[in-house]
Amino acid sequence: MPVMKCPACANCLDAPAPVCPTCEFTLRQLDTKFGTVPLHSRHLTDRARSLTLDEVKRLQKLLQRFEEKFPQSVFSVFVTDLPTGTNIREYTFWLANRARFGSIDAVGGENFALLLVIEAATRSAALTVGYGLEKFVLEDDLSVALTAAAPALRSGELERGIQLCVEEITRQLTDICKAAATIPKTEGAPTGGHW
Amino acid sequence: MQSRRHHPKNGGRADRRTLVKGKLILRLALMLLLLGVSAPRAFAQGGTPVFERVYVPPQPPTPARGRIPESEPIPQGWIIAGEAAVALISAAVLFAAARAWRSSNLFDRKYRFPSGEPTALRFGGTRSGGFMATIEPAKSKKDA
């Protein structure tokens, strides 16, 4: 079972809970805090206007290729300017649940989406996954992908940072899928898709 | 009364007449027979001829042509350039085809995740349970 942490207080949870036992955090609180869901597109949204048109096109192409490789999954990137003092973890959690990057039906274990939120002003970033990917990706894996992108993000190369992050995640997921394909069925190999 | 046939005076004359008459009848029969045999041929030949020869005036003789001058051989440089162009185009087509083949995901290059397992939702989120990593501007460590 993956380690579960509260998006607000980052305390670990022993079991899935509808409310954080420490800070009583829920998604509904964030609805009040953040209000209406901002306009967004499936793959790339640049609310901060930090990317040029060519950069947007190249990144959209990259994210489309990711989706072609993993048809169940959608990798969305959201670049924005958050108000000062906003917790990027809370905002990412709220956006991943309230925005419609992927299919409406992709809920619970059927959600294999990834969302990368970048705060353009401070260059902080958060990478989250849907419930469906929690069985395959560890938080350390997500951290490795973000760490790969960190130098480029810090130096202002937003496109390069996003590209490195997407490529790292693609590599990880490909390795996971290939490794799963070598497990014989008697050992409990997944049977849901052609691995 | 004796019949004229056996009359001793005209017995030979009657025989001769009979012979003449017989010859005449025979000739007539022969003529009729010959006419009957040859009649169909006469009718067939009397119709319009089916094939008529068309008179074609003789064509004037074709003027004698002069001998075709031999064309100059294609320069070898052109041949090499043409072959190089063909090779280049073939390589480009091959490259494009290989690229299309690679990107077409024909050989299980798509990956699917198994699904269907029930998941316990957290904090009211139906899509994501807050499973994430973050980086801060000053530090690149996991914020978890």
Q: Which two tokens stand for residue A131?
A: 């419930």
Q: Is the distance from CB of A170 to CB of A130 less than 8 angstroms?
A: no
Average pLDDT, chain B: 73
How far is the CA of A109 from the CAs of A40, A68, A94, A159, in angstroms? 23, 20, 18, 31
Tell which of B106, B109, B111, B136 to mutate to test the A interface (max A CBs under 10 Å). B111
Decide the pairing of beta strands A114-119 and A75-80: parallel
- Flag if B134 and A28 touch (Cβ within 8 Å): no
Query: Each residue of B10-44: pLDDT tens digit?
Result: 555 666 777 787 888 888 888 887 776 655 554 55
Beta bridge partner(s), residue A118: A79, A125
CA–CA dist A134, A152 (Å, integer): 27
Query: Could you give phi then psi for residue A114, rounded to 5 degrees?
Result: -125, 145
Q: Is the ipTM of this complex over 0.85?
A: no
Say which of A72, A107, A140 has its CB closest to residue B112: A72
Please tell me which of the candidates B111, B127, B137 has its beta carbon nearest to residue A111. B127
Instruction: Identify the helix (H) or strand (E) that includes residue A18.
Output: none
| Helix (H) / strand (E) containing A119 | strand A114-119
Between A18, A113, A194, which is nearest B127 by CB?
A113
What value does the mean pLDDT of chain A take?
Answer: 86
State which amino acid sits at residue A54. D
pLDDT value of residue A195? 33
Is B115 in Cβ contact with A143 (below 8 Å)? no
> Half-sphere exposure (CA, 13 Å, Cβ side) for A12?
6
Question: Is the predicted pLDDT of residue A61 greater than 90, yes or no?
Answer: yes
Query: Concatenated DSSP letters for B6-21?
Result: G-TTTHHHHHHHHHHH
DSSP structural state of residue A154:
H
- CA of residue B106 relative to chain centroid, distance: 40
**Nearest one of A173, A182, A7 to A74, comparing CA atoms:** A173
CB contact under 8 A, A128 and B121: no
In angstroms, the Cα distances linking A169 to A103, A123, A158, A194 are 21, 19, 17, 20
Q: Tell me the per-residue pLDDT of A85-134, one tens digit each, with 9 for 90 and over.
A: 889 999 999 999 999 887 777 778 888 999 999 999 888 999 999 998 88
| B122·A92 Cβ contact <8 A | no
